[in-house]
Structure 1
Amino acid sequence: MTRRKKSHQSHGSANRPRLWGKHAVAAALDNPERKVLKAWATRETAAFMQFPSDLPLVYAEGPDMGRLVPNDAPHQGVVIEVEPLEDIWLGDILSQADEKAILLVLDQVTDPHNVGAILRSAAAFGAIGIVTQDRHSPSESGVLAKAASGALERMPWARVVNLARALEEIAEAGFWRIGLAGEATTDLKDALGPQRVALVLGAEGPGMRSNTREHCDALARLPISGAVESLNVSNAAAVALYAASVA
């Protein structure tokens, strides 16, 4: 894995990201694996948050809080500065998979809103984790954590150097790899079958890269109507996760 590059933004950095919003902050505080360095909160919000007694806490008014986050993000009166979570290895996720398991693989999905929403859906439908390529996925950030609504702290996320090699490792662990592609002729429900399934989604627009497609056991599509050309990748992930969870 590669080291995360430092950022010089005043709203936090890759090495010290700032998270905001009540759900994201509460989940971070509840996560024993998360190191929280500092907190800012309005007095009203602080009364409802379970801040550790030894955590540096600064009380601030709403307008001042807005300057701690980019573009007056919806901080809901609380911001924390944290250390990134420790790296999770794909092998550790695979070794803990039950007989029936769902894994999500993202091929160069870079938008933090989408990845955050996908983490939330993955947690909702019982996925065992998500896998991304380390150089082509967003780092931990307040935007991603807010979209994940706490799932960033609960959903195992493995960042790998080589996605094709990761898909080989996933297959060796007994997973049936299904790539979602709009031009596929098979509906997702017909491609499902094996109890262990890895759902592979590409970025909006270009979709999966050719090498990623070649490392899938099947290509499938979501049977959407002709009223829309395609779904947002986070919506597609949610639909695919639901289909796999009830199969």
Structure 2
Amino acid sequence: MTEKTYLYGKNPLKEAILAHKRGASFAIEKLFITKQTENDAEISSLIQTNKLDYDVVTRDEIENFVGRDTVHQGICALLNEKVLYTTLDEVLAKAKNKSTNSLFVLLDELKDPHNVGAIIRSSVAFGADAILMPEHNQTQITGTVIKTSAGMNFSIPIVRIGNINTVLEKLKQNTFWTYGLTGDGDTNLNDVKFDTNTVIVIGSEGEGIRTKTLELCDFKLSIKIDNKCESLNASNATAVALYEWSKQNN
């Protein structure tokens, strides 16, 4: 049985609504709020303005959905899984119709939901066109990911893929150059000219990009940092790389 996905907190709810207003399918299947939250002027206005149906529940009931350690602000929503994700063919079709270069960010089995959420947020901030993530051995879109991304997952296509190496081959056949971000890469990020469709591959927190996947990358990118610092974590390194791409393409 597929685990249900809930968002929690005011800002993720707002972002789901804003994304819908911009033309995305509405991701919320069922909204739950506490009595106290129902009397919150901001939430009340949001619900009335957008004609949202909701159930009033107890705080304990919300925490049964999203956990007791979450900062849920008395609000959570069950999400429609079909709306959370799109297909590789869809994002490739959009890339073909663009007059400018496209950027995909491919996650290679990241486990930390805070890293995944931060990468999604940076991807939206710097103009990426899609996030690609494997269906297995990878943190999917969860309440924590949504919260950490500040709801930005609703503003970028998220693609669940099968075999990463097969997908990389398909992307290369569709005019994408592939860049693996790795600490010991032989190409410095500052020396790269991002002048075509781009895929930036991000490895897992502990292992990095897997060997076969890294071999498929056209370039192995490294980021020059002060020698007093051993490395950047996955989300920080991604943000630096995306910023460099953005400088050249936006």
- CA distance 1:196–1:54, shift in 2 (3 Å): closer
Equivalent residues of 1:18, 1:80 under 8 A apart: yes
Q: Secondary structure at the match of 2:81?
A: coil
Gaps of 5+ in 1: 7-13
Q: Give RMSD over aligned pairs.
A: 2.0
Specify the code of the residue in structure 2 equivalent to 1:58.
V
Q: How does 1:28-47 map to 2 (within 5 A)?
A: 28-30=16-18, 31=20, 32-41=25-34, 42=37, 43-44=39-40, 46-47=43-44
Counterpart mapping for 1:1-247 below 5 A: 5-6=1-2, 14=3, 16-30=4-18, 31=20, 32-41=25-34, 42=37, 43-44=39-40, 46-50=43-47, 52-53=50-51, 55-58=53-56, 60=58, 65-66=62-63, 68-86=65-83, 87-97=85-95, 98=98, 99-247=100-248
Shift of 1:141: 1.7
Are the equivalent residues in 2 in contact too, given 1:102–1:197 (CA < 8 A)?
yes
Q: 4+ residue stretches of structure 1 with deviation over 3 A?
A: 51-54, 63-68
> In the TM superposition, what whole-angstrom CA distance separates every residue of 1:51-79 from its partner, at most 9, and x where no partner exists?
65461331656x77555531331112321
CA contact (8 A) 1:178 1:219 kept: yes
* Whole-angstrom distance in 2 between the partners of 1:48 and 1:78: 14
Distance in 2 of aligned mates of 1:89 and 1:83: 15
Amino acid at match of 1:91: D
Aligned length: 234
Cα distance in 1, alignment partners of residues 117 and 224 from structure 2: 24
Cα separation, partners in 2 of 1:68 and 1:35, compared to 1, 3 Å: closer
* Residue 190 (structure 1) shift: 1.4
Partner amino acid, structure 2, of 1:95: A
- The 2-side partners of 1:208 and 1:159 are apart by 18
CA deviations 1:91-147 (Å, max 9, x no partner) are 211221233121111111122111111111111111000111111222322111101
Following TM superposition, by how much is the alpha carbon of 1:50 offset from its aligned partner in structure 2, in angstroms?
A: 2.8
Unaligned stretches of 5+ residues in structure 2:
none
Residues 34 and 210 from structure 1, CA distance in 2 versus in 1: closer, same or farther, beyond 3 angstroms?
same
TM-score, normalization by structure 2? 0.85
Counterpart Cα distance in 1 of 2:123 and 2:44: 31
User: Which has the larger share of helix?
Assistant: 2
Counterpart code for 2:15: A
SS of match in other structure, 1:96 = helix
